[in-house]
Amino acid sequence: MKYISKIVVPALDLCFLNICITDLTLQTCDNITTIRWLAEHGLIANQRICKKCTHPMYLQARRGKFFMDGYCWACSKCNGTKNIRFGSFFERSRLTLVQILEILYLWSLERPQVEVSRQTGVTTRSLVDWYNFIRDICARYLTDNPVEMGGPDRTVEVNETKFTERNNRRGKYKPDQWVLGIVERETNLTMMVPVDKIDAATILHVITQYVRAGTRIVTDRWQDYNALPRQELENHGYTFVAPERPTKNVEGSWDLCKAKFSIMRGTSDANFNSHLQEFLWRRRIKDNFFGNILYWIRHYYDVS
């Protein structure tokens, strides 16, 4: 069997990957070192068997527009070839592997798209696509790792807010977007859910998705919930109470979220939901966003 890298680090190691931009640049200074780095980190296949003749393939230097990375998998028996990006997150892109890694790195640092474009030489239009691909990973993570908040002896703050100012470059204003924020006081675990309208029934429906029965729920709108049919409230076992102090955890989350969204104004993409998902992913992951996004890319694009 022929391997690109002598070792492939365990997937969990990626979550703790601590690399500065200088080291990343050094470790991805040309095609072959970049390919080795990606194979070592499990982001492209480290070995491959020929589909036609089941012979082990080897890494072969190749030139031409189908082999933009300078190498491909080749079969010594039937001369078949396979792109080294096959099955990976990097497949079907015309950007170089280094450019994509740089985009991931600068995205993890929340650098503005204009700056990322300048540093990577990638057009802002192409960056918008890549940021969407990255946010797709965040969205899949959130779907596959749903939060459950609250429970007996736990308090959850629920509050709504309206996002406006969602104008894009063409000057078109989109309708206001209501978002429901749910924060568990003890852990600061956060969920934000876009909703079409704000009324007690809609909000209760969202709460039942994320909040365990028996939770004490602090909300400005406690009177609305207490006006719901008693049977409905008893079914869920929630207690709605008025805030004894402002719902500061949710308010804090709104401030952070709105600050982030206001920084993004002026970018050409305005996909509200996917930005919200990125925000929530970062809240859940907490730190080392580069290593963690690589971990989840490896998880969803299993090339082993």
Binding site for Zn ion (CB under 5 A): 50, 52-53, 55, 75, 77-78, 80
* Shortest spacing between CB 82 and Zn ion, in angstroms: 10
* Shortest spacing between CB 47 and Zn ion, in angstroms: 14
**What are the tokens at 219?**
């909300």
Is the Cβ of residue 54 or residue 188 nearer to Zn ion in the bound state? 54
Looking up tokens 């790792």, which residue turns up? 145
Cα separation, 270 vs 264, in Å, equals 9
Cα separation, 74 vs 272, in Å, equals 44
Cα separation, 304 vs 297, in Å, equals 13
Closest C-alpha among 226, 219, 221, 216 to residue 246:
219
Is the Cβ of residue 55 or residue 260 nearer to Zn ion in the bound state? 55
Is the Cβ of residue 82 or residue 166 nearer to Zn ion in the bound state? 82
Is the Cβ of residue 52 or residue 118 nearer to Zn ion in the bound state? 52
Strands 190-195 and 216-219: unpaired
* Shortest spacing between CB 43 and Zn ion, in angstroms: 24
**What are the tokens at 25?**
């640049």
* Shortest spacing between CB 86 and Zn ion, in angstroms: 14
* Shortest spacing between CB 116 and Zn ion, in angstroms: 40
* Shortest spacing between CB 49 and Zn ion, in angstroms: 9
Is the Cβ of residue 77 or residue 248 nearer to Zn ion in the bound state? 77
Is the Cβ of residue 75 or residue 100 nearer to Zn ion in the bound state? 75
Looking up tokens 């509200």, which residue turns up? 272
Closest C-alpha among 108, 88, 31, 156 to residue 281:
108
Closest C-alpha among 176, 235, 178, 228 to residue 208:
235
